[in-house]
């Protein structure tokens, strides 16, 4: 529900501007032990395929560079339906506009400077991504970036299975290529033999 004037104003502005990406910067409650993370909606969570893919790419564009800088932050792609009440969920699902949520950890007396630096780094990474700078990190969310738990373990197994199948397919393709070459050579030998035989008869 958009009962607050501030909420209504934000929604109207986003609808009018149609930005490439909405970024919601937020902080976790001081008693929440969850580590910092970046969340966005996937297709399975109610976003369209295009928006879900854009959200995944946006998470990767932020989490990858920050983790490369040794920042403790996780990727949280949402793969099941959630009521789209939060801003990043609402815009992705209801308005068809990619959006991400950057949550920073406050538990354990995390200094304001650290939390601010994480938000600032996230905005810098987002700006570089939207400006078209080439990423030095993967362009899609990696299983290793997920928060520790069953979901991460499942994703790691899926990635490993995909790598194994890709390697097997490459090997199979290589064998097929060799077999194809052998067949061509055999056909050429038969043609040459046929010409020699024809010449001998003459």
Q: How many domains in the chain?
A: 2
Does 148 have pLDDT greater than 60?
A: yes
- Within its chain, how far is the Cα of 25 from the centroid? 19
Task: Give yes or no: residues 169 and 139 share one domain.
Answer: no
Task: Give yes or no: residues 13 and 52 share one domain.
Answer: yes
| CATH number of the structural domain spanning residue 55 | 3.40.630.10
- Cβ neighbours for 23, distance < 8 A, ≥ 6 positions apart: 99, 100, 102, 122, 123, 126
Say what the pLDDT of residue 165 is: 86
What is the rounded distance in angstroms from the CA atom of residue 12 to the CA atom of residue 4? 13
Say what the pLDDT of residue 201 is: 58
Q: How far is CA 16 from CA 8, 13, 98, in A?
A: 12, 5, 15
The mean pLDDT value for 86-108 works out to 95
Task: Give yes or no: residues 120 and 80 share one domain.
Answer: yes
CA dihedral 87, 88, 92, 95 (to 10 degrees): 20
Confirm if 51 and 96 have CB atoms less than 8 A apart.
yes
The mean pLDDT value for 42-60 works out to 96
What is the rounded distance in angstroms from the CA atom of residue 18 to the CA atom of residue 11? 10
Domain that holds residue 158: 149-202
Q: What is the band of 1 on the pLDDT scale with cuts at 50, 70, 90? A: low
Task: Give yes or no: residues 153 and 135 share one domain.
Answer: no
Task: Give yes or no: residues 140 and 200 share one domain.
Answer: no
Task: Give yes or no: residues 129 and 186 share one domain.
Answer: no
- Cβ neighbours for 63, distance < 8 A, ≥ 6 positions apart: 38, 73, 74, 75, 141, 145
Say what the pLDDT of residue 173 is: 77
Does 186 have pLDDT greater than 70?
A: yes
pTM for the full predicted model: 0.77
Edge-to-edge, what's the strand order for the sheet holding 99-104?
Answer: 22-27, 99-104, 37-41, 74-78
Q: What is the band of 32 on the pLDDT scale with cuts at 50, 70, 90? A: very high
Q: What is the band of 39 on the pLDDT scale with cuts at 50, 70, 90? A: very high
Which one has a higher pLDDT value, 140 or 167?
140
Task: Give yes or no: residues 37 and 95 share one domain.
Answer: yes
CA dihedral 151, 156, 159, 165 (to 10 degrees): -120
Does 76 have pLDDT greater than 70?
A: yes
Task: Give yes or no: residues 34 and 117 share one domain.
Answer: yes
């Amino acid at each position: 529900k958009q009962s607050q004037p501030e909420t209504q104003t934000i929604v109207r502005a986003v609808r009018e501007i149609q930005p490439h990406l909405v970024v919601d910067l937020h902080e976790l409650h001081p008693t929440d032990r969850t580590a910092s993370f970046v969340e966005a909606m996937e297709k399975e969570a109610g976003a369209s395929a295009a928006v879900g893919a854009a959200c995944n790419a946006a998470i990767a564009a932020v989490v990858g560079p920050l983790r490369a800088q040794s920042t403790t932050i996780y990727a949280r792609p949402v793969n099941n339906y959630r009521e789209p009440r939060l801003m990043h969920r609402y815009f992705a699902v209801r308005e068809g506009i990619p959006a991400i949520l950057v949550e920073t950890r406050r538990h354990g007396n995390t200094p304001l400077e650290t939390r601010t630096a994480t938000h600032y780094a996230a905005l810098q990474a987002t700006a570089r991504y939207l400006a078209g700078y080439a990423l030095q990190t993967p362009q899609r969310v990696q299983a290793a970036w997920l928060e520790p738990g069953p979901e991460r373990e499942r994703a790691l197994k899926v990635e490993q299975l995909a790598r194994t199948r890709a390697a097997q397919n490459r090997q199979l393709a290589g064998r097929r290529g060799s077999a194809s070459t052998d067949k061509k050579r055999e056909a050429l030998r038969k043609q040459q033999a046929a010409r020699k035989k024809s010449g001998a008869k003459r």
